[in-house]
Amino acid sequence: MHSIKTATRRLIISMAVAMALPAVCLAQAYPTKQIKIIVGYAPGGTTDIIARVLANRLTTTMGQTVIVENRAGAGGNIGAEAVAKAAPDGYTLQMGTAGNMTVTPSIYPNMPFDTVRDFQPISLVATLPNLMVVNPKVPAKNVQEFVAWAKARPGQVFFASSGTGNTPHMTAELFNIAAGLQMVHVPYKGSGPALTDLIGGNGVHVMLDNMPSAIGYARNGSLRALAVTSPKRVSSEPNVPTISESGYPDFQVVTWFGLFAPAKTPAHIVEMLHREVAEAVRSPEVAKKLLDLGAEPTSNTPAEFAALVKSDIAKWSKVVKAANIKGP
């Protein structure tokens, strides 16, 4: 009798283990193919740059190729929609921004997705200030001179942005209010084409762009840097003053970039991606690249990131209303 009970017990245990194995193997299998990070802007902008730095690192550490795919338009909404509607399997991700994930919901009518409902935050990747840059033909060497020049030309000074509702747009609108200016907004499908026109003097005079995409042009003289929007000067550009110390002590804007997956992505995949991103931004290689671009390598937990998104949606909705910003 004892031997029968023992045999039965072993059989039950064996069956339980066998039934559990597929789930265990499935959890351990990811990733088994190429992973795609979608960027909702044209190549050459800050979101694109940060996504490629991360993708190169993840390709090395995850054992599968991680690529970046640009789907520009509608202030980043086209790319975000593609991720929101993708299979929640960890193979289609988004490099989201404070702009397209927390500002545009207050600007665009009939949004094709809900930022909170349709996405699973993974982790922050970087935080950074914006950089005020002008075409060298603009006769201003600092913020005060630019404000005087722009005030003398109400409605005739045009500022470029990477798209309606993105942080370069919102930052310039805030500066319009702070300095009492009437600059006119010209939106593009990303910082790349916006900076190209700014450098060429093609209809735009100034941009308050995310620092990584603009700093190279300021360093080589294609554009003139007037100020950064951070509370303190950026260590990589100590000679560029802040807007705060240029006569507007309460003016500060710091934005973020982070990785998102579609909602309902399995917990073990979310955990793995979070761990990989956190290790990536701590690595000397990635940290140096981001710091050299004026960005701060940053990570947080999925829960912390989700709380930040909700908080920023509430914050920016007030700014959109105060500035009376309308979607296209």
Spell out the residues 6+ positions from residue 270 whose beta carbon is closer than 8 angstroms to its own.
Answer: 120, 122, 261, 302
The domain made up of 129-246 has a fold known as D-Maltodextrin-Binding Protein; domain 2 (3.40.190)
Task: Flag residues of the chain having pLDDT under 50.
Answer: 1, 11, 13, 17, 21, 23-26
User: Which ranges of the chain would DSSP assign to H, the alpha helix?
Assistant: 2-29, 46-62, 77-84, 98, 143-151, 167-179, 191-200, 211-219, 267-282, 284-292, 302-323
pLDDT value for 328: 67
**Dist CA 306 CA 99 (whole Å):** 15
Q: Which residues pair with 14 in a beta bridge?
A: none
pLDDT value for 138: 98
Q: What is the pTM of this model?
A: 0.81
Domain boundary assignment for the chain: 28-127+255-323, 129-246
pLDDT value for 249: 95
If you classify domain 28-127+255-323 with CATH, what class do you get? Answer: alpha beta
Q: Please, what's the b/e burial string for 78-113 (b: 16 or more CB within 10 A of its CB; e: otherwise)?
A: bbbbbbbebebbbbbbbbbbbbbbbbbbbbbeebeb
Question: Do the domains 129-246 and 28-127+255-323 match in fold?
Answer: yes
